[in-house]
Amino acid sequence: MRDESHVHRRGVWVKGIVRACGLIACLSTARAFAHPAKAPPCAGDFVAAVQLLPLAGGRAVVAVDNGRVAIAGACPATKAHIKATRHATSLRAAWPDGACAGAPGRVRLRATITAACSLLTGTLVVGRSHEALRGAPSVCGDGVTDPNIGEQCDGSGCGPGAFCAKCTCVPIASATTTTTTPGTTTTSTTLCATLQSSCTSTASCCSPGVCSGGVCCAPEGTSCQDSTDCCSGCCDENRFTCAPSSGGATCLF
């Protein structure tokens, strides 16, 4: 009887431990659901209109990376206070007087990035002036050249002898003609017309462009940067190729 009683008490004790552990596990699981893990802080480049800093085109690339923030072309990367929550990433950065090119005084930035890292909103303070900022992630086709994402150009920005295609500078095709007369050799180089340039014939357009309506444009199935490049007036935003305007593609403008 003593042994049976001992076994019974031991069994009850073991069952109690199992139940307690199960309760703790349930509570831990419930807490995990009630308090999901924080998302990592957003990072990347955001393009926003900026009037208080002397920037070309009035737009800036706000670069957030590894605990630092920079405003390309104006303010160098500086250590920032960046905090991530379940709903957004908040950041604060400041540059001392003279650190930002052309800025009349200190520059401060306070902003919030949505949890999906798809929108930056905030306030930029330059000296005693301030303005609201609203920026979207930097992408090819937004008109602002961003070397941080590998862009060499964005619509423009290439030197002589090159044109911008998918944010990459591509050499302009040319034709070289050599004329030889007794005692004289003359060599001339003629550059072809880029997309959206005026033309008189397809022969004058850079390949694979064709001359349509007096303007060089890209035919269907060829690469494009936006819909103004295409003869059809539609650049497929998913494939970056010219598509029929009535073919169901989502056109990039």
Pairing of strands 184-191, 174-181: antiparallel
User: Would you state the pLDDT for residue 56?
Assistant: 80
- Percent of the chain surpassing pLDDT 90: 43
Task: Give mean pLDDT, residues 177-182.
Answer: 64
Task: Give mean pLDDT, residues 158-181.
Answer: 71
pLDDT digits (tens, 9 = 90+) for 14-49: 455 446 555 455 445 445 445 556 678 999 999 999
Q: Which residue has the higher pLDDT, 121 or 190?
A: 121
DSSP string, 58-115: GEEEEEEETTEEEETTTEEEEE-EEEE-SSEEEEEEEE-TTSSTT-SS-EEEEEEEET
User: Would you state the pLDDT for residue 126?
Assistant: 96
Mean pLDDT of the chain: 82
Task: Give mean pLDDT, residues 63-92.
Answer: 95
Enter the DSSP assignment of 172: P
Tokens representing residue 191 in the block: 């550059």
Instruction: State yes or no: pLDDT of 9 exceeds 90.
Output: no
Residues 6+ apart with CB under 8 A from 242: 218, 219, 220, 221, 222, 223, 224, 229, 230, 231, 232, 234, 235, 236
- Percent of the chain surpassing pLDDT 70: 78
Task: Give mean pLDDT, residues 131-155.
Answer: 92
